[in-house]
Structure 1
Amino acid sequence: MSKNAVIKAVTDAELKTKVEQIFIDIGMTPDEAVNLFYAQVLLHNGLPFDVKILNKITISAMNDTEKKIGETFNSVDQLFEDLND
């Protein structure tokens, strides 16, 4: 596939600097990264990752998990026993 189209994008300078350092660290140019992203969009027929707006319940559950708040189980069987009660 010949590369003859130009993409122009405007982004935050700090974001650009930080992301381009990551590209350098993994041995990738910004052009290669954009081409990879475009190829993945084509392959997935959409964005190659989930785009979600988390609701309050999900955010609360994630925070509780990080803080190790809530019920714990020693086995999957114990978890299912609790769910079936």
Structure 2
Amino acid sequence: MEKTATIQARINPEVKREAQKILSQLHMTMSEAIALYLNQITLHKGIPFEIKIPNEVTQKTLKDSEAGKNLHRTDTVADLFEELNC
């Protein structure tokens, strides 16, 4: 199939850099990745992964986390796992 259509998108430069690093490891170009994504949208007849609006509890938790509120802290990862195993 002929590739003649052009897409332009404004992307956060850091997101683009990180994606390019990953795609490079996969030996894919950004254009190939975007084409793959668009093909998956066509095959799935929608976005190829679940997208949903978080419930109120999740929204509040995300906002609190971003603001540094109500965070649980431990001194070490081992302490965290010990607490989780209780």
Name the aligned partner's letter for residue 28 of structure 2. M
CA–CA distance in structure 2, aligned partners of residues 10 and 27 of structure 1 = 23
Q: Name 2:11's counterpart in structure 1.
A: 11
Aligned residues: 65
Q: Which has the larger radius of gyration?
A: 1
Gapped runs of 5+ residues in structure 1? 61-65, 71-85
CA–CA distance in structure 2, aligned partners of residues 21 and 53 of structure 1 = 29
User: Identity rate of aligned residues, in percent?
Assistant: 34
1:22-66 deviation per Cα after TM superposition (whole angstroms, max 9, x unaligned): 000111100100000000000000000000122216x97xxxxx9
Compute the TM-score of the two structures, normalised by the length of structure 2: 0.65
Gapped runs of 5+ residues in structure 2? 62-80
Name the aligned partner's letter for residue 35 of structure 1. A
Give matches, 1:68-79, under 5 Å. 68=84
- Give runs of ≥4 in structure 1 deviating > 3 Å: 66-70
CA–CA distance in structure 1, aligned partners of residues 15 and 2 of structure 2 = 29
